[in-house]
Structure 1
Amino acid sequence: MDDKLKKIAIENSDSIVQLWMQEINSLKLDNYTASISDELFESTNRQFVNVIFTSLKNAGSPKAVEEFSEKIINLGWPLSYITDGLQVFRRVTIDYILGQYEQLDPAFISNVLKSVDTWVEPLIRQLVNEYSGSWENTVSLQRVALQELSAPLIPVMDGITIMPLIGTVDTDRAKLIMENLLDGAIKHNSEVVLIDITGVPVVDTMVAHHIIQAAEAVRLIGATCILVGIRPEIAQTIVNLGIDLSKFPTKSSLKKGFRTALELTDRQIVDLENRADSIEQMIQSLKGE
């Protein structure tokens, strides 16, 4: 940026910032920032404009740009907040500098436009790149976290584990389900694995195919797979699609599936109160003899 114009911008930064804040605040009523509290909006704008002037004084400040980009992403604000803000800043700065002169010739105006562009354009690219990189990193971390939570295998008793599924089962998630099932079944020495699809909204041919593959894989390592959570509409869909689920047990609820799992592992649920009465009757009967 031209040294003379740079000096004008820095010396009059308070006035330029005030004009910029006025324009940004006027835009707040008509865009995505309308629901943001005034306090948060103003503090973020202050940080934004500090980043802008820091870049002018220090010929770029990567750390400040990175921190600001991360803040915008964490707040959930769109990239357009950055681009709109810088475009407004460009216009306000040009108007302010030109307003300091009474005589304006085309060459001078062109120099002002070019000087401000050489200041703002690199900052736009830097902020957009940082925002995009931070956003991709954030999305990647969230995707990994969701995958870890989307197909958990939970041991509930010796030899019995449960995998509750919630949401849509796509190809990527099906691979994760298969891996977790096999690894978990071996790790927990599972004899029976219950796959609960109560939270799966739609079971089509592809979803059923993935579930069947998972059940077959579990069977090959010596465990039994029980599919539970078969709602009436899901059962009707499976029948209409001609999907064969006869190779492994299916139950309408997790409770029924768990009872079956107990039976398969030579266990059963016993009512302690009734059992106590039976034992008492047996004792009385023996005394009578």
Structure 2
Amino acid sequence: MNKLMVENIKQNMDEIIDRWIKAMREEKGERFFHFMPEHLVEKTSREFAELMTNNISEQGSINEDQINDFTEKVVRFGWAIKIVNKAIDNFSDVVFDLLEERGVIKDDNLRAFMRLFDNWINPLRESIIDAYSTEWERTVSLQKIALQELSASLIPVFDKISVMPLVGTIDTERAKLIMENLLEGVVSQRAEVVLLDITGVPVVDTMVAHHIIQAADAVRLVGAQCMLVGIRPEIAQTIVALGINLHEFKTKSTLQRGMQAALSMTNRKIVEVEGN
């Protein structure tokens, strides 16, 4: 029975892939099959078909390396876990329907083929989902580390003046990292004025504002002043609507204006020098 099934799948692989791609494009919220180049869709679809059909056996072994390679790729492409599950379901349905059309699956062997499909699909699904989850967690962890490294550094721009650009969502864990880097940087750089630039922070809610206020208080305790810059109009409206009190330290709408104010606070200013 396995041999007959494998032979029919191999003979009709092009049609199976075409039907599967069509089914995937009909999935709600699916983007890969609509927006990626056609050659990439075709290549990825064939790789998925090969991954699925390498295990058509009641006692089949699963190629873990092949699964890991594929899940790494689809995580990079942005496939959600829901799409991965749908991909497996759709492939199984397409193969089953085609075998029925070809007369391979009949009323007298339906139960046997259903058992064969269960032994084929279920272990494969479990292995794919496990590999996907592991790869997803690894990718998210790497992205989180990269974001932390990029967005929590105190940068000296002038003598006594430093800037910390903040990018992305600020949660409790990131707030701790920001606080540590901020205090260490203020002391090591002997900064007198620190500009916290929130241009790259998409949302400022009560929790984010609380972390910023804590950072400003900590900076004052080590003898420096803190200024909040990069306040966009929508952020200003949110801060007012939430009743967040930011009166304890200076605020400026842009980094440029903040830098001008910081220079003034350290008894300096920018002047134009006429050429000879």
Equivalent residue, structure 1, for 2:228: 227
More divergent stretch after superposition (207-216 vs 122-131):
207-216
Secondary structure at the residue paired with 1:55? coil
- Residue identity matched to 2:157: V
Paired amino acid for 1:152: S
The 10-residue stretch of structure 1 (143-152 or 42-51) with the greater mean CA deviation from structure 2: 143-152
Change in 2 beyond 3 A, CA 1:165/1:82: closer
Whether 1:30 and 2:30 are equivalent positions in the alignment is no
Pairwise mapping of residues 52-91 of structure 1 onto structure 2 (< 5 A)?
Answer: 52-56=52-56, 59-91=61-93
User: Do the aligned partners of residues 140 and 109 (structure 1) sit closer, same or farther apart at CA in structure 2, a change above 3 Å counting?
Assistant: same
TM-fit CA distance, 1:240: 8.7
Change over 3 Å in CA distance of 1:229–1:69 after alignment to 2? closer
Give the superposition deviation at 1:15. 2.1
Aligned-residue offset at 1:201: 6.2
Amino acid at match of 1:87: D
Contact 1:52/1:123 (8 A) holds in 2: yes
Equivalent pair of 2:72/2:132 in contact (CA under 8 Å): yes
Instruction: Please say if residues 21 and 45 of structure 2, whose CA atoms lie closer than 8 Å, have aligned partners that are also in contact.
Output: no
Normalising by structure 1, we get a TM-score of 0.75
Long gaps (5+) in structure 1: 277-289
1:17 aligns with 2:13: yes
Q: Distance in 2 between matches of 1:165 and 1:183?
A: 16
Q: What is the Cα deviation at residue 170 of structure 1?
A: 4.3
Matches for 1:200-219 after TM superposition, within 5 Å: 205-219=206-220
Q: Which residue of 1 aligns with 2:179?
A: 178
Question: Deviation string for 1:129-180 (max 9, x for gaps)?
Answer: 1112211221222122222223332110222201233555444443232122
Deviations 1:15-73 (A, max 9, x none): 24234223213325523223333322221111111112223476110000111111111
Which consecutive residues of structure 2, in runs of 5 or more, have no partner in the other structure? none
- Residue in 1 that maps onto 2:142: 141
Of 100, 103, 110 in structure 2, the residue corresponding to residue 99 of structure 1 is 103
Is contact 1:16-1:93 (8 Å) kept? Answer: no
| 1:159/1:86 CA distance change after superposition, 3 Å | same
> Do 1:151 and 1:164's aligned partners in 2 also have CA atoms closer than 8 Å?
yes
Instruction: Report 1:272-283 matches (<5 A).
Output: 272-273=273-274
State the distance in 1 between where 2:203 and 2:193 align.
25
Cα gap change, 1:69 to 1:250, in 2 (>3 Å) = closer
Letter in 2 for 1:148: E
* In structure 2, C-alpha distance between the alignment counterparts of 1:149 and 1:122, rounded to whole Å: 41
Aligned length: 267
Q: Which whole-Å CA distance do the structure 1 matches of 2:88 and 2:16 have between them?
A: 10
Paired with 1:201 and 1:80, the residues of 2 have a C-alpha distance of 27
Higher-helix-fraction structure: 1
Q: Determine the C-alpha separation between the residues in 2 that align with 1:111 and 1:19.
A: 24
1:271 Cα deviation from its structure 2 partner? 3.9
- Mapped to 1, the partners of 2:182 and 2:222 lie a distance apart of 11
Contact 1:190 1:223 in 2 (8 A): yes
- Aligned match of 1:40: 40
Amino acid at match of 2:66: A
Partner in structure 2 of residue 120 of structure 1: 121
State the AA in 1 paired with 2:212.
I
Q: State the structure with more CA Rg.
A: 1
* d(CA) in 2 for partners of 1:81, 1:36: 15
Structure 1 distance, partners of 2:242, 2:92, is 62
Query: Could you tell me how far 1:80 is from its partner in structure 2?
Result: 4.0
